[in-house]
Chains A and B, each alone.
Chain A
Amino acid sequence: MSYFIVPVNDGLLDIDYYYLIEGIQISATQCYVALREGFTVRDTWEEITEEQFNEVKALINEPLEIV
């Protein structure tokens, strides 16, 4: 699994969605993504570590308890 910050254009992530495992969006223009292997890196992407990805997950509230 690899981690990137990718651009968001009008709500659409600049990725091939086939490879999206998890996306965390905390702004209108950027999204943190975890991708399964097989993707092609784009110039607009910024690679990050798993730790950085997990840190940003903490910035969005946890899903509520399900009833």
Chain B
Amino acid sequence: MGLIDAIYKWLKDNLGKTTDTANSTGSLHAKIAELRTYINSLVSTRQKPRGTVASGNFSTNQTTYQTALNIAGKGKLVGLYATVCTGAYSSKVKVTIDGTFVCYGWAGGSETQTIFTCYPDKSFIFKNTEFLENDMVNMTQLYLDPMVDPRNAELAFKTSLKIELSNKFGQGAKCGWIYELE
């Protein structure tokens, strides 16, 4: 009986009960509960399946930033393009996530054609250097510079997403987007 008692006690101490409280140093049941709690904490920080997928576009002939999109919620901007219209030379999009300016995008063109820039296309420029805001020439030079890496931005948002659009001479600019919300 002594051996059986010892085995029972070992099992009781190490396996524990299903009702054991989560504890990383407790019984096996307690450890599993602790692990479940940890996994849940990880999963809850990841993007959930999408509840809403919406697309749209916006055109303007204004030379100051106009708000093309302004939404609240948690989700991800999964597609974004900017282009210019006939007679225009450049347009800029400005992306603000959770109230914080993140990056600019840029589209440039000649009189007859435009360079298409679309996230996540590698040629889409996302730069957060503040001087680019007021200096299109510098932006153009950076774009043409093969040494510049046009980094893409992380476009998941927790509370809000805002896209603004402007064009340089007022002939017209257009941007479009696709976003997902939880």
| Chain B: minimal CB distance from A2 (Å) | 14
Number of interface residues of A (CB under 8 A): 24
Q: Decide if A25 touches B57 in the complex (CB within 8 Å).
A: no
Q: Which residues of A contact B110 (CB under 8 A)?
A: 64
**A13-B67, A67-B115, A67-B116 given; A62·B85 CB < 8 A:** yes
Q: Decide if B62 touches A23 in the complex (CB within 8 Å).
A: no
Considering the complex of A and B, which 7 residue pairs feature the smallest CB-CB distances, nearest first?
A: A61-B85, A64-B114, A61-B86, A66-B116, A25-B60, A23-B58, A61-B172
Further pairs besides A18-B54, A61-B86: 17, Cβ < 8 Å:
A8-B66, A11-B62, A11-B67, A11-B164, A20-B56, A22-B56, A22-B57, A24-B58, A25-B62, A36-B54, A60-B172, A64-B88, A64-B109, A64-B112, A66-B113, A67-B113, A67-B115
